[in-house]
Structure 1
Amino acid sequence: MDVSMTLWVLTIVGLAALISVDFFIGRKPHDVSVKEAGIWTIVWIALAVLFGLGLLVFGGGQPAGEFFAGFITEKSLSVDNLFVFVLIMAKFAVPSQYQQRVLLVGVLIALVLRAVFIAAGAAIIASFSWVFYIFGAFLIWTAWKLIQEARADEEEEEFEENKLLKAAERRFGVADRYHGTKLWIEQNGKRVMTPMLVVMLAIGTTDVLFALDSIPAIFGLTQDPYIVFTANAFALMGLRQLYFLIGGLLKKLVHLSYGLSIILGFIGVKLVLHALHESGVHVPEISIPVSLGVICGVLVVTTITSLRASRKLAEAEAAEDRGGRGDDPVKDEVDA
C-alpha cells in the first residue's frame, strides 16, 4: 500500500486528537465504572472498524484484511499486558482514582516506543529478507515458552522493576507518597519524582518486552509499516478501558496463554513459509483470510474453554468448602 507523507501526518494528527479528547474527558481523577469503561471500549473498537472499512474503500481488500488481522492479533496479545499492569498497580499501591491517568500516560509511552520498534523492523525487513527466518523462529520459540509457563505450577507473580526504571529512581529520587496527579515535587530542597511518574514509566517501559513478541507477529501478517503502526495504535489506545472492563475476568482466562501460544506459533510458521517463498522455494503461503479465521477461531475457543474451566473450578472449591464445614462439628456448633 502506497502511503504518502501527507496521509502519515493526517493519521498521526487524527490519533493525537482522539487521544486528547479521551484525556480531557477523563482528566479529573475518579474511579472508572464498568459502564464508562464499556462505552469507551466500544468507541475505540468502532473507530478501529471504521478505519479498517476506510482502508477497504480506498486501499482494497488486502490492506483492510491485513489491518483487521493485525488489530485482532495485537488486541489479543495486549490482553496479556493487563496481567502485568495489575501487578504493577499492586506493586506501587496506586489509588484507584489515579489508575486511569497512569494507564493513559503509560500507554502513550508504550505507543511511542513501539513506533520506534516498528520503524526499525520495517527498515530491517526492507534490507534483509532473511530476517523473516529469525522472526519466525523467535515466535515459534516464544509460543513454546508460553506453553511451558502455562503448564508450570508457579507461585503468585510479583512485578520486578527493569534496569531503566531502577536507574531513574536512583538518579532522581522518589517521593514517599502520592501527591495527586503531580509527576515532580520539591522535597527537602530537591526536585524528585513522585510514585505517579514511576508507575507510568513502569507501564510504558515494561510494554517493550511485549513488543518483542507482538511486533514480529504483526510483521508476519503484513509488511506495511502504516498498517503495522495503526493496528498497534488502535489496539493499545483501547487498552486502558479494557483494563477496567475485564479486570475482574482476567483470572478466569486460564487458557489465554495456550491460545496466544497457538497464535504466535501459527504466525511463526507463516513467516518461515514466507521466507522460504522469498528465497525461491516453492511452498504454499498462508493467506490473510486464513490467518484471520485461525486467529479469531483460537480466541473464541480459548475464551469458551477458559470460562468453563473457571466455572468448574469455582464449583469444586465451593463444594469442598461446604464439605469441610460439614465435617467440622466445632465449626458447625459455633455457626449455630
Structure 2
Amino acid sequence: MNVSLTVWLLTVAALCALVAVDFFIGRKPHDVSVKEAGTWTIVWVVLACLFGLGVFVFGGGKPTGEFFAGYITEKSLSVDNLFVFVLIMGKFAVPSQYQQRVLMVGVLMALVLRALFIAAGAAIISTFSWVFYLFGAFLIWTAWKLIQDAKKGAHEEEYDENKLLKAVEKRFGVADRYHGTKLWIEQNGKRVMTPMLVVMLAIGSTDVLFALDSIPAIYGLTEDPYIVFTANAFALMGLRQLYFLIGGLLKKLVHLSYGLSIILGFIGVKLLLHALHESGVHVPEIGIPFSLGFIVLVLAVTTFTSLRAAGRQVEAAPDTSPM
C-alpha cells in the first residue's frame, strides 16, 4: 500500500486514542471478570475487522489478506506468550486486582518496542534483500526449538529473571512489598522500585524476545511496514483482556506450541522461496490466500486436538472426591 505520512499520523493518533480509552476504563485496580474480559476482547476483534475492511476499501484485496494473515499470526503468537505472562505474575506474586494494570503498561512498552523493531526491519529489508534468507532460516530454527520445548513441557518451568532485570534491581533496589500501583517509594531514606515496576519491566523486556520471532514471521507475510505495524498493534492491544478471558484455558491448549511451530516453519519456507525468487531462481512462491487459509486451518486443528486431549486427561484422572 502507498500510505502517506498523513495516514500514518492519523493511524497512530487513532491507536493512541484507543489506548487512552482502554487505560481510562481500566485505570482503577480491580479484579477483571470473565464478562468484562470477554466483552472487550470482542470489541478489539471487531475493531481489527473494521480496520481490515477499511484496508480492503482503500487498498484492495492483497493488503487486506496480508493484514488478516499477519493479525491472526501475531494473535496466535501472543496467546503462546500468555503462558510466560502467567509465570511472571506467579513469580512476583502480583495481586489479582493489580494484574490488569501490569499488563496494560507491559503492552504499551511492547508496542513501542515493536515499532522500533518494525522500523529497523523495514530499513534492513529495503537495503539488503538477502536478509530474507536469515529471517527464513531463523524462523525454521525457531519452529524446531518450539517443538523441542513443547516436548519438554517448557511452559511448566519457572520464570527466570533476565540479566538486564537483575542489574536494574541491584542498581535501584526493590521494596519488600507492593504499595498499591506506586512504582517508586522512599524506603530507609532511599528511593527504590516497587515490585509493581519490576514486574512491568519483566513483561516489557520479555516481549523483546517475543519480537525476535514475531517480526520476521509477519515480514514473511508482507513487506508493507504499515500492515506490519497495524497488525502487531491490534494483536497486542487486545492481549490484556485475552489474558483474563482464557487464563484458565491456557493449560488446555496443550498442542498450541506444535501448531505455532508448523506456522513458523511454513512462513520460514515461504521466506526462503521468496529470497530465492528475488535472487533470480525460478521457484514457486506461496501466495497470501493460501498462507491465510493454511494458518487458520492449523490453528483450528490445533485448538480442536488440544481441547480433545485435555478432555481425555480429565476423564482419565482418578476421582479424588470424598465418598
Q: Structure 2 length normalisation: TM-score?
A: 0.98
Listed one character per residue, the Cα deviations across residues 262-315 of structure 1 (whole Å, up to 9, x for unaligned) are: 000000000000001000111111000000000000000000000000000111
Identity of aligned residues (%): 82
Structure 2 contact 83–155 (Cα < 8 Å) conserved? no
Gap runs ≥5 in structure 2: none
What is the distance in 2 between the residues matched to 1:163 and 1:237? 27
Distance 1:86 1:153, change over 3 A: closer
Structure 2 contact 84–155 (Cα < 8 Å) conserved? no
In the other structure, the counterpart of 1:113 is: 113
What is the distance in 1 between the residues matched to 2:232 and 2:128? 23
Distance 1:174 1:127, change over 3 A: same
SS in 1 for 2:70: helix
Listed one character per residue, the Cα deviations across residues 187-242 of structure 1 (whole Å, up to 9, x for unaligned) are: 11111111111101100110111110100000000001111011000000100000
Q: Structure 1 residue 153: deviation in Å?
A: 5.2
In the other structure, the counterpart of 1:278 is: 278
Structure 2 contact 78–239 (Cα < 8 Å) conserved? yes
In the other structure, the counterpart of 1:221 is: 221
Structure 2 contact 67–231 (Cα < 8 Å) conserved? yes
Matched, 1:17 2:17: yes
Structure 2 contact 277–283 (Cα < 8 Å) conserved? yes
Amino acid at match of 1:256: L
Distance 1:198 1:48, change over 3 A: same
What is the distance in 1 between the residues matched to 2:138 and 2:250? 26
In the other structure, the counterpart of 1:309 is: 309
Larger radius of gyration: 1
Q: Structure 1 residue 147: deviation in Å?
A: 1.1
Amino acid at match of 2:162: N
In the other structure, the counterpart of 2:140 is: 140
Listed one character per residue, the Cα deviations across residues 127-172 of structure 1 (whole Å, up to 9, x for unaligned) are: 0001001100110111111111112256931101111111111111
In the other structure, the counterpart of 1:328 is: none
In the other structure, the counterpart of 1:77 is: 77
Could you list the runs of 4 or more consecutive aligned residues of structure 1 that deviate by over 2 angstroms after TM superposition? Answer: 152-156
Q: Structure 1 length normalisation: TM-score?
A: 0.94
In the other structure, the counterpart of 1:197 is: 197
Matched, 1:31 2:31: yes
Gap runs ≥5 in structure 1: 326-334
- What aligned pairs does 1:237-248 form with structure 2 within 5 A after superposition? 237-248=237-248
What is the distance in 2 between the residues matched to 1:246 and 1:164? 30
SS in 2 for 1:8: helix
Please report the RMSD computed on the Cα atoms of aligned residues, expressed in angstroms. Answer: 1.2
Listed one character per residue, the Cα deviations across residues 7-63 of structure 1 (whole Å, up to 9, x for unaligned) are: 111111100100100111111100000000000000000010000100000011111
SS in 1 for 2:317: helix
SS in 2 for 1:196: helix
